[in-house]
Chain A
Amino acid sequence: MTNHVLSLRGVTKRFGGLVAVNAMNFDVAEHEVVGLLGPNGSGKSTTLNLISGALPLTAGNVSLWGSRISGLPAQTINRKGVSRTFQLVRLLPSMNVRDNVVVGAVFGHRRRWGHDANEHAEKLLERVGLGGKGDMSLGQLTYIDTKRVELARTLASDPKVLLLDEWLAGLNPTELQIGINLIKSLRDEGRTIILVEHVMDAIRSLCDRCVVMAAGTKIAEGTPTQVLSDKKVITAYLGDDDA
């Protein structure tokens, strides 16, 4: 209760007859990096969507600093300091790289406008490794760079809580190391981070704690080493007996 930034209590999502997320409970402490793991289709991204307000909850509640945010529209949750990236990168095709980042700075948690917003965007581009590419159009970017733009946009509102949906997926080993360092530096400056991730290296070196899901339910919680040796987790990933 005291220093929990984010708490999920009985969070449930039903799509027709399918229960995608079933009574999830977990807390995230300040400055913590929590990994949300689980096989494909286990409900990780849906959980993220429920936190960010992309989808309404069927039952349960999500609270930020002890006050309820579930049921609020996505824009309000964003303004309260929760910002996210998307599993399939979503950028704005009619704008150049810099304006895509400015988008995050103008309306979000901490607001900037005009020259101030541009300068802020430029700084963030530098930080994610896209310095000097502000005037490029999105079509000129590589896949990795589009992910960087999206992260910069997410950071532009100076969020307290970051939700990263497989942001490290598809990076090569060098890029992965840069990515991991970047996320570490975000935590070091005081942000709280929840990441949905499959890349085990990243999970081991980044996460303070992990929550593992299977078929919409939480099956394990603990440090990366603990959960990755948990029998239930291994069964969920590899199946019964033949492990």
Chain B
Amino acid sequence: MSLTGTDTRNVLLATLGFGVCALLPFADTGYWLGLGVTIAMFTALATSWALFSGPTHYISLATAAFFGVGTYVTGLGIETLPFWALVGLAGLIGAGLAALVGLATLRLSGVYFVIFTLGLAELVRQVITWVQNNTGQKGLYVLTDLDEAGIYWWLLGLCAAVFLTGWLIGRSRLGFALRIIGDDEIVAAHSGINTARAKILLFMVPGAVAAMTGAILAPRYVYIEPSLAFAPILSFQVVIMALLGGASRLWGPVVGVIPFTFLLETVSSNFPNQTTLVIGVAFLVIVYLLPNGFVGLLDKVLHRTKANEVT
């Protein structure tokens, strides 16, 4: 494996970008850092989501389920294990859970997958609530000395890991196999690709990342209860951000995360009852106006200017 000139440039630029982002807590520890945490969280979630859904075109709504499982890993283990071990453990559990979901649904058509993941968060939530009711436990307290800046750096590190993973997958046989599956699954199978295995392997990435994100953010909630940890709206926000930016490129989702976070922030602080309406409209905008996201729009514009230069 060798790096070309552009690769080296991209790596340097990305490192520089992350370096600059890491300085945020020194500039502000209030509103902007809070926003930074939200953006970093959604960047990790949406980028890993697009790693799977971009090439395969499957729409996963399982983010909230994995995220919730991650917060519970931290909530249950914070007394006994160090924080870093909990984040790692959440990643493993998330990946395992994703593999199980994938085994059950990814051999079938996309509709089954959407429906199954749509209710997954609710399923886990109901089971946890039931267990808690029967054991007399209510919620969980997560008390750590991790402050907002610490959480932010953890998330930033996770984002870096997601980008690195995405970049490596893009260069690997697995990444190539997924591009083929996205184009024509029959050709993929007849070219010797185990399509189900490739899809399940890739689905484990967003599963692990979402669970790790949940584990990292658990200390921020302080008190964890099922309806908070498994809020289904999270899954939808991730889908919108990733598709708004464009799932066809590694950096696409970030382009959607930043404006949409600001939009939701503005709407929820000024018109708190209208967030669902905004999410609904965002879906329609994606389908009817930006089918390939901002990235697709950019490609189109570049293509046109290039064509104009030639003629």
- Does B192 belong to the interface (CB within 8 Å)? yes
- Does B249 belong to the interface (CB within 8 Å)? no
- Does B95 belong to the interface (CB within 8 Å)? no
Q: Are A93 and B190 in contact (CB under 8 A)?
A: no
Q: Are B195 and A107 in contact (CB under 8 A)?
A: no
Which chain B positions have C-beta within 8 A of A113? 173
Q: Are A103 and B180 in contact (CB under 8 A)?
A: yes
- Does A94 belong to the interface (CB within 8 Å)? yes
Which chain A positions have C-beta within 8 A of B179? 92, 94-95
Q: Which residue of A lies closest to B193 (CB)?
A: A107
Which chain A positions have C-beta within 8 A of B176? 102-103, 106
- Does B34 belong to the interface (CB within 8 Å)? no
Q: Are B183 and A94 in contact (CB under 8 A)?
A: yes
- Does B187 belong to the interface (CB within 8 Å)? yes
**Size category, B interface:** 10 to 19
Given contacts A106-B173, A106-B176, A107-B173, contact A75 B183 (CB under 8 A): no
In the complex, chain A residues 51-102 whose Cβ is within 8 Å of any chain B Cβ? 52-54, 73-75, 78-79, 83-84, 86, 90-95, 102
- Does B25 belong to the interface (CB within 8 Å)? no
In the complex, chain B residues 180-235 whose Cβ is within 8 Å of any chain A Cβ? 180, 182-184, 186-195
Q: Are A75 and B180 in contact (CB under 8 A)?
A: no
Q: Are B186 and A54 in contact (CB under 8 A)?
A: yes
Inter-chain CA distance A152–B184, complex, in Å, is 17
- Does B177 belong to the interface (CB within 8 Å)? yes
Interface size of A by CB at 8 A reads 28
Given contacts A106-B173, A107-B173, A113-B173, contact A74 B189 (CB under 8 A): yes
Among A78, A94, A95, A114, which residue has its beta carbon within 8 angstroms of that of B192?
A: A78
Please give the distance in Å from B55's CB to the nearest CB on chain A: 10
Among B177, B186, B188, B192, which residue has its beta carbon within 8 angstroms of that of A157?
A: B192
Among A90, A95, A107, which residue has its beta carbon within 8 angstroms of that of B177?
A: A107
Which chain B positions have C-beta within 8 A of A84? 190
Inter-chain CA distance A90–B187, complex, in Å, is 7
Q: Are B192 and A52 in contact (CB under 8 A)?
A: no
Among A75, A92, A93, A95, which residue has its beta carbon within 8 angstroms of that of B189?
A: A75
- Does A108 belong to the interface (CB within 8 Å)? yes
Which of B177, B183, B195 has the most chain A CB atoms closer than 10 A to its own CB? B183
Q: Which residue of A lies closest to B177 (CB)?
A: A107
Please give the distance in Å from B19's CB to the nearest CB on chain A: 31
Inter-chain CA distance A18–B195, complex, in Å, is 30
Q: Are A104 and B173 in contact (CB under 8 A)?
A: no
- Does A153 belong to the interface (CB within 8 Å)? yes
Inter-chain CA distance A53–B1, complex, in Å, is 34
Which chain B positions have C-beta within 8 A of A94? 179, 182-183
Which chain B positions have C-beta within 8 A of A90? 184, 186-187
- Does A148 belong to the interface (CB within 8 Å)? no
In the complex, chain A residues 169-225 whose Cβ is within 8 Å of any chain B Cβ? none
Which chain A positions have C-beta within 8 A of B191? 75, 78, 103-104, 106-108, 153, 157
Q: What are 21 A-to-B residue pairs whose CB atoms are below 8 Å?
A: A53-B190, A54-B186, A54-B190, A73-B189, A74-B186, A75-B189, A75-B191, A78-B190, A79-B192, A92-B180, A92-B187, A93-B183, A94-B183, A95-B183, A103-B180, A103-B187, A107-B173, A107-B191, A108-B191, A114-B1, A157-B192
